[in-house]
Structure 1
């Protein structure tokens, strides 16, 4: 009996420092309209690699557009593990039907909360070719929506509503960026839409 108590005490003593030493990293993804990561996680799109199990993990260096992931790797946050998200699939990613001037609500799901600087949403320019990888030159680098968060932690689900810009037709891509306040990273999500 005494041996069992000693083992339990030792296990508890080891567990406490480990739980304190391992930080709770923030993760999240856009669930609606479905991002590429969400489409892979739901099995709507196959051949996605690891992202199908980790839609919340598309994390890369922050500072977009002057810094951040390299052109052609924006949808994967510069993370080669999720390179399937950067593959334009010949412009065949499932796309949400939208209209110019429409109010569209973007919903994020978080598996861990983190101090947040802001959320920003960028849209590809008129004439974007959906069969090419996403680059800075294909995006309007002025976000059509910025939501300041001033270092607060988001709840487990958070929605933002934006009015979609005009002057777009056909298949376009929204790049959603969640800037973390207390790390050097941000989370990147690509969503395909059709005007």
Structure 2
């Protein structure tokens, strides 16, 4: 049965979801916002009028955003041998989001696995550095009357990779929505030379 694509996904460099799922599935990896938070019902400290978050994905289910249809995305590299984009330490990497249904957006956060992470284990919060390596935030408030919160399609961010990471790493890209409790989760596998 054909399904319509929905919401949005990282299309360049291709996310793990873009490489291994149908378009409608890749664009539907949606779970509670505010990663690395684990709890639901939290308000945005920057924009208190935004909708509180729903339940973020559990550790071990981050790549799939907890969606059963995408559970293969949670398998560690030792089992799947994920395609890794060749990049350089310190490189400004262009990340492109495309949308099927744009939402009023508060921010995009980009998290990178920390040095010494275990690629043979499922992705957990402990595998990522606690702070994003890049954040792009929209300032309009309150969300229901702000006209500047709908993202351009496509949205392109220039994310500079840290100079101290080498080898295989995972970049977690999180698109946080202002007018719902959700965010969209995309992982990109990198080989940092």
Partner secondary structure for residue 141 of structure 1: coil
Q: Tell me, yes or no, if structure 1 residue 72 matches structure 2 residue 60.
A: yes
Q: In structure 1, what is the Cα distance between the partners aligned to 2:77 and 2:170?
A: 13
The answer on whether the counterparts of 1:26 and 1:113 sit within 8 Å (CA) in structure 2 is: no
Please list every run of 5 or more consecutive structure 2 residues that lacks an aligned counterpart in the other structure: 39-55, 144-148
Q: In structure 1, what is the Cα distance between the partners aligned to 2:163 and 2:60?
A: 25
- Relative distance call for 1:182 and 1:26 in structure 2 (3 A) is farther
Alignment correspondent of 1:191: 188
Q: Tell me, yes or no, if structure 1 residue 176 matches structure 2 residue 173.
A: yes
Structure ranking higher in helix proportion: 1
Partner secondary structure for residue 114 of structure 1: coil
Aligned 1:1-195 pairs, distance under 5 A = 27-41=7-21, 51=22, 53-67=24-38, 68-90=56-78, 92-150=81-139, 151=143, 152-195=149-192
The answer on whether the counterparts of 2:8 and 2:99 sit within 8 Å (CA) in structure 1 is: yes
Q: In structure 2, what is the Cα distance between the partners aligned to 1:187 and 1:59?
A: 4
TM-score after normalising by structure 1:
0.78
TM-score after normalising by structure 2:
0.79
Any idea what the Cα deviations from partners look like across 1:45-102, whole Å, max 9, x if unmatched? xxxxxx5642100001112112311101111112222111111241610011111111
The answer on whether the counterparts of 1:35 and 1:191 sit within 8 Å (CA) in structure 2 is: yes
Q: In structure 2, what is the Cα distance between the partners aligned to 1:140 and 1:84?
A: 23
Please list every run of 5 or more consecutive structure 1 residues that lacks an aligned counterpart in the other structure: 1-24, 42-50
> What is the aligned-residue RMSD (CA, Å)?
1.7
**How many corresponding residue pairs?**
162
- Relative distance call for 1:122 and 1:142 in structure 2 (3 A) is same
Greater C-alpha Rg:
1
The answer on whether the counterparts of 2:111 and 2:128 sit within 8 Å (CA) in structure 1 is: yes
